[in-house]
Amino acid sequence: MTETTPQALRAEALESLLVEKGLLDPATVDQVIVQYNERVGPMNGARVVAKAWTNPEFRKRLLADGTSAIAELGLEGAQTDKLVVVENTSDVHNLVVCTLCSCYPWAVLGLPPKWYKDPAYRSRVVREPRKVLEEFGVALAGDKAIRVWDSSAEVRYMVLPEPPADGRGLSEAALAERVTRDSMIGVEIL
Amino acid sequence: MSEELNGELSPPMVNGEVVFDAPWQGRVFGMAKSLADAGLYTWDEFRACLIAEVAGWEGLSQGEYPYYELFLGALEKVLAQKDVVEPAHLTARFEVFKSRPRGHDH
């Protein structure tokens, strides 16, 4: 089906010019879409988190150098030049944003949800993180510190959430299923 | 490639979310990524254009946030900067596509 909105036609016009110039293969574009829509997604991050919960040595490596640690799991990519993983603890809650555009750790979380790109989230999270968290249904104790991490082209952040209270004794695979995308952005507590 | 879509890398149900509201948004994303991978520009150069588009829209700041329109605008800008696609050339092609009879498909 051909889309007929102006944006769709403009995108189609651009693609047709690039294909004519021999600079773009539509099949490559198809592959990228499939890869990011279906293969690269938050389950990659969930595997990383569950491994960190069950393997203290891996957790140490992950917090010291996120990029190298996720490479152990075969995860890397153009957008993870430098991945920094920040750990939620009983004293600190971490929250990730990109105030300037929409930088996001694709390799571990896939493509960002719509609200992450929204101007309201991007500006408010810095100004009033506690209030924004409340709107996401996260009520933090008053004495818990909140750290907001602003992503950039050079550094992408991912939150290592605290494990669910009832997760004790679960296998790594079972724990991975409990990890949500939002918890790795920092807007959900497990 | 199809076998890679199965198994542990299949789309997650709980975490899953449709990322693109319309197919053209996926194409724009796919083009931007493919062309960066091909070395026509760096992702930083694209990002600089995206930041400018986002800032420009926020200066006006009305209506629903048209993220992928801004993304497309950034792609057009970076391709113009690199002398890959001339804006006038693109607009001409766009006009041709706009005047196509409805039901056209290819």
Got the DSSP string for A119-136? Answer: HHHHHHHHH-HHHHHHHT
Domain ranges of chain A: 6-38, 41-185
Q: Do B47 and A101 count as a contact with CB atoms less than 8 A apart?
A: yes
Q: What is the DSSP letter of A139?
A: -
C-alpha to C-alpha distance for A31 and A36, rounded to whole angstroms: 9
Q: Do A18 and B54 count as a contact with CB atoms less than 8 A apart?
A: no
A16 given a catalytic annotation: no
Torsion over CA: A77, A11, A151, A87 (sign): negative
Asked whether the beta carbons of A155 and A82 are under 8 A apart, the reply is yes
One digit per residue, the tens of pLDDT, for chain A of length 190 reads 467 789 999 999 999 999 999 999 999 998 888 777 666 778 889 999 999 999 999 999 999 999 999 999 988 754 556 899 999 999 999 999 998 888 888 888 888 887 888 888 998 999 999 999 999 999 999 899 999 999 877 789 999 999 999 988 899 999 999 999 999 999 999 9
For residue range A145-183, list pLDDT tens digits in order. Answer: 999 999 877 789 999 999 999 988 899 999 999 999 999
C-alpha to C-alpha distance for A80 and A62, rounded to whole angstroms: 13
The amino acid that residue A2 corresponds to is: T
Contacts B59 to A, Cβ<8 Å: none
C-alpha to C-alpha distance for A110 and A44, rounded to whole angstroms: 8
Q: Do A28 and B34 count as a contact with CB atoms less than 8 A apart?
A: yes
Contacts A33 to B, Cβ<8 Å: 20, 26-27, 29-30
Q: What pLDDT sits at residue A70?
A: 92
Q: What is the residue-averaged pLDDT of chain B?
A: 78
For residue range B7-17, list pLDDT tens digits in order. Answer: 332 322 334 45
What topology does CATH give the domain A41-185? Answer: Nitrile Hydratase; Chain A (3.90.330)
